[in-house]
Structure 1
Amino acid sequence: MFPKPQVALVPNTYEYESFPLVKPTGFREYDARWLFEKEINLMGVQALGMGIGTLIHEMGVRPDLVTGHDFRGYSSSIKYALISGMMAAGLRVKDIGLALSPMAYFGQFELDCPAVAMVTASHNDNGWTGVKMGANRPLTFGPEEMGRLKDIVMNAAFTLREGGSYQFVEDFRDRYITDLTNRPKLKRKLKVVAACGNGTAGAFAPQVLEMIGCEVIPLDTNLDHTFPRYNPNPEDMKMLHAIADKVRETGADVGLGFDGDGDRCGVVDNNGDEIFADKIGVMLARDLSKLHPNATFVVDVKSTGVFATDPELRAQGAKTDYWKTGHSYIKRRVNELSALAGFEKSGHFFFNKPVGRGYDDGVLTAIAVCEMLDRNPGKSMADLYSAVPKTWGSPTMAAKCADEVKYEVVDRVVKRFTGLKGEKVGGHAITDLITVNGVRVVTDDGTWGLVRASSNKPEIVVVVESPVSEARMREMFKAVDAVLHENPEVGAYNQTI
């Protein structure tokens, strides 16, 4: 028997060292994240591992699993606690060591493992930990699997089995890098800023970019799990501004920024202007649709409306499907529709065959950006960006809201806007409400505002965009924010326009 997890324990007590601590809200829509020690302890991680093993056997999946961990001071200890639980539940575990999340996904193919459990808190601040899981490559768990996993773990409904084993896979980093760089070298000599925020990507991205023929200017590439300058998050304006400064200082052709576990990439052009990831998606879709006409692209509801209206994409016969935000959702949708690629405003990009294997890989995204520039020898990154129809868009803005109430608050906001349909918001009539993921309010001039619950943090996300003017974008934000903050549970934003 294994003790039933507790939802709250006081650290530095007998009970804390004797019982598993697992806060239920750590089970998110498509992965799991907790504040380590406050919301989960090592025994709780062990319980999570037994839950993963129990679920994989329940799903009838061959019990071979690849695991790795990101560069945080506590991630390796969490991984070994997870491994002990997974082995107890009969999983045959292959450990690739310090890794990027896409390196673990690559391991599912390279090591013939149907399942994956990558220990990472991604771009979350220090103190957070989590696991990205899947049992059907290249997909990761969605709400159904995560809900079942939560039930198993919180009720200690584990099925322990014989047959669990452990193998450490040596030199797997080299196999991953070899796979990425097994391609023709760039013809165009590109000077590239590679910014890693002192996260895990620093051990991978600069070398890969050099191997494909770039001159690399490293920025915060030494691994330091205290993240001394800023959080490794290419949606964070601090990181983007640091990249922009380095691009202008060095005269680089492009700046590329990677998040904490290397599955996302942010881009700054040669003028030092930050390009939001959804616009990079438009540029890559334009480039790829020339090579693959009539392609389908999947984008999340946070992304620009240009995907649906761009004349060049229409001329190439490209089709766009707007879907739920979240790496698991977009990955699944790309797979379902056999789309060529999927793009999220957060910087998760999913390249399907023949470009990739369907999972999100920030280093592969960086390669795709460089190859796009290589195919346009007379044009700079700024030239390609200026060719995209102009819109005024906000960064992703996140307002604090407790995990326990954030979905209820968003439901209230959806009902509020539903009641306003046909009326004016920000001085313009509402023409459409997209409610596949929160609510995207669209007005008669194409301006829109999105409100949705964050899938992995205690926050509510707001994004606004206008094809008309910056003033219209700000009007929409003011209108959307006013409705959101009718709810007293909503706190301050992490950043605003």
Structure 2
Amino acid sequence: MTGHRFHPSILREYDIRGVFGETLSTDDARAVGRSFGSVVRARGGSRVAVGCDGRLSTPVLEHALVEGLTASGVDVVRIGLGPSPMLYFAATPGSGALAPEVQGGVQVTGSHNPANHNGFKMVLEGAPFFGSDIVDLGRIAEEGAWASGMGRIEDADVATAYVDCLIGALEGIDLSALDSLAIGWDAGNGAAGPLIEALTARLPGRHVLLHASVDGHFPNHHPDPTVESNLSDLRRAVAEGSLDFGLAFDGDGDRIGAVDGKGRVLWADQLLAIFAEEVLREWPKSTVIADVKASSTLFARIAELGGKPLMWKTGHSPIKSKMKETHAPLAGEMSGHIFFADRYFGFDDALYAAVRLIGATVRLGKSVTQLRDEMPEMVATPEFRFAVPRERKVAAVEEVLAALRTDGSTVNDTDGVRVDTPDGWWLLRPSNTEDVLVVRAEAADEGGLARLMAEVDARLAAVGIRRPD
């Protein structure tokens, strides 16, 4: 049987992603369907949900994906346009979204990437499909080791059930307490827009929606709320409308951004600190997970609240897996992915996190602005990402780690190297998805931050790498 070889750049650690018409084609989509369907069949499954975002290339990729799935003998339930979390919801055992249940799910999405990018996110048996799973998918395709059959196709509407579940995050709250709230929502012309419209129509309070129409050109700004410049429209709406706070979402609705009533950005680790205060009231002494890029003040805050802070690897799939292993009710990472197992299913869902933030203002009895005011003021770099040759990416970090250990430095090597010093901390790690190194640092003041970055640059120079200005 003739197989299919993917472009080597598109099989990523957490998903399959490429530039449509260059590294990603409809033939790739069909092969993804054949290969993933074959894995589902090998696990004893027979039914897969398929969702999609609003990118211009999505319809043809979704069509080819479904062709591949059905050719492997898998029945396909098409749930249509929506955010990735809606697909996760549909594919989660026990969610009640689909009957009979599906054994897997595929979302056609380019996530927060530029408009000409696209790809596929997958879940299998309620668990993330990543790492070695994706490597194996490539092997199955190349060998043409596909199951065959004639699967059926049906359409299903899960949007109402999904919004019902989101509203459930406010269970136990007197909804009249939300009547005075005024909130901005920037959908960024991504796939979450129609769901935000449906959700806010059922929420008390005043809601100002920005860029809720789905447009694969992303005409207003890039759909990544973790980049501060993409929050300009939201900040303006909060200021002009005297709103209590604002929420922003990426192209497929699994990353959240936020600004308070003063227009200050609440980064993901600051949001996680708010959520931890609420969750640890219900789950005392439980584990709360954050990735290695998160602020030291977050880990200290979790401990102060009586929780067990756990620093873990960056990436939504590793964090989901660690949550299941440790039974953590809450986790998050700096890329804006927030995960609730407390009263939810443990996958990253920016819309659910948004509703939980609304609820937290009532449960904690403080506004988002007050909660932000109470947080310690630190200074931190943005996430510096710079290209390195593929063969040096991991080796350079290992060489830096060896030198740090020789020097007796305080190092956490969970994911790259994170070094604690009297000034604060700095991080050096290889990206899991690109041939780049990632650097970030945090200190109590600008002088400390400058000293941290000088150390980073010296450590890099010692292994023959110069960080661009």
Check whether TM > 0.5: yes
Deviations 1:189-235 (A, max 9, x none): 21111011111111112431342223111122222211122211111
Aligned equivalent of 1:218, options 206, 209, 212: 209
Alignment partners' CA distance in 2, 1:462 and 1:330? 20
1:149 aligns with 2:137: yes
Aligned equivalent of 2:31, options 44, 47, 63: 47
Aligned equivalent of 1:328, options 317, 329, 334: 317
Aligned equivalent of 1:173, options 159, 163, 168: 159
Going from structure 1 to structure 2, the CA distance change for 1:406 and 1:73 (only over 3 Å counts) comes to same
Q: Which residue pairs with 1:427 in the alignment?
A: none
Q: Which residue pairs with 1:187 in the alignment?
A: 177
* Cα distance, 1:142 vs structure 2: 2.6
Deviations 1:407-434 (A, max 9, x none): 73243133124313465xxxxxx73222
* Cα distance, 1:33 vs structure 2: 0.7
Aligned equivalent of 2:419, options 428, 441, 456: 441
1:359 aligns with 2:343: no
Report if the CA contact (8 A) 1:449-1:463 is conserved: yes
Alignment partners' CA distance in 2, 1:198 and 1:462? 30
User: Could you tell me which amino acid in structure 1 is paired with residue 139 of structure 2?
Assistant: D
Going from structure 1 to structure 2, the CA distance change for 1:89 and 1:186 (only over 3 Å counts) comes to farther
Report if the CA contact (8 A) 2:386-2:436 is conserved: yes
Unmatched 5+ stretches in structure 1: 6-21, 424-429
Aligned equivalent of 2:446, options 455, 460, 470: 470
Deviations 1:385-421 (A, max 9, x none): 22223322233333245xxx44732431331243134
- How many residues are aligned here? 458
* Cα distance, 1:315 vs structure 2: 4.6
* Cα distance, 1:50 vs structure 2: 1.0
* Cα distance, 1:283 vs structure 2: 1.6
Aligned equivalent of 1:370, options 358, 361, 373: 358
The alignment partner of 1:117 has SS state of strand
User: Could you tell me which amino acid in structure 2 is paired with residue 76 of structure 1?
Assistant: P
Report if the CA contact (8 A) 1:283-1:388 is conserved: no
Unmatched 5+ stretches in structure 2: none
1:480 aligns with 2:456: yes
Alignment partners' CA distance in 1, 2:384 and 2:198? 33
Report if the CA contact (8 A) 1:31-1:133 is conserved: yes
Going from structure 1 to structure 2, the CA distance change for 1:25 and 1:486 (only over 3 Å counts) comes to farther
Aligned equivalent of 1:345, options 334, 337, 342: 334
* Cα distance, 1:104 vs structure 2: 0.2
Aligned equivalent of 2:14, options 9, 12, 30: 30
The alignment partner of 1:123 has SS state of coil
The alignment partner of 1:87 has SS state of helix
* Cα distance, 1:146 vs structure 2: 1.5
Report if the CA contact (8 A) 1:194-1:206 is conserved: no
Going from structure 1 to structure 2, the CA distance change for 1:186 and 1:284 (only over 3 Å counts) comes to farther
Aligned equivalent of 1:397, options 364, 384, 392: 384
Going from structure 1 to structure 2, the CA distance change for 1:142 and 1:432 (only over 3 Å counts) comes to farther
Aligned equivalent of 1:161, options 132, 142, 148: 148
Q: Which residue pairs with 1:18 in the alignment?
A: none
Alignment partners' CA distance in 2, 1:491 and 1:227? 31
Report if the CA contact (8 A) 2:267-2:334 is conserved: yes
RMSD: 2.3
Percent identity, aligned pairs only? 28
Alignment partners' CA distance in 1, 2:202 and 2:87? 21
Going from structure 1 to structure 2, the CA distance change for 1:51 and 1:193 (only over 3 Å counts) comes to same
Alignment partners' CA distance in 2, 1:214 and 1:28? 41
Q: Which residue pairs with 2:229 in the alignment?
A: 238
Going from structure 1 to structure 2, the CA distance change for 1:473 and 1:117 (only over 3 Å counts) comes to same
Q: Which residue pairs with 2:373 in the alignment?
A: 386
Alignment partners' CA distance in 1, 2:460 and 2:216? 35
* Cα distance, 1:308 vs structure 2: 2.6
Alignment partners' CA distance in 1, 2:391 and 2:276? 32
* Cα distance, 1:480 vs structure 2: 2.3
Going from structure 1 to structure 2, the CA distance change for 1:254 and 1:210 (only over 3 Å counts) comes to farther
Deviations 1:128-180 (A, max 9, x none): 1111112120x211312112112112x233223224221111x3222211221
User: Could you tell me which amino acid in structure 2 is paired with residue 34 of structure 1?
Assistant: G
Aligned equivalent of 1:81, options 36, 42, 64: 64
Alignment partners' CA distance in 2, 1:489 and 1:38? 30
Please give the TM-score of this superposition, normalised by the length of structure 2.
0.91
The alignment partner of 1:187 has SS state of helix
The alignment partner of 2:177 has SS state of coil
Alignment partners' CA distance in 1, 2:458 and 2:63? 46
Going from structure 1 to structure 2, the CA distance change for 1:455 and 1:368 (only over 3 Å counts) comes to same
Going from structure 1 to structure 2, the CA distance change for 1:485 and 1:74 (only over 3 Å counts) comes to farther
User: Could you tell me which amino acid in structure 2 is paired with residue 145 of structure 1?
Assistant: D
Alignment of 1:96-135 (within 5 A): 96-109=79-92, 110-111=97-98, 112-135=101-124
Q: Which residue pairs with 1:455 in the alignment?
A: 432
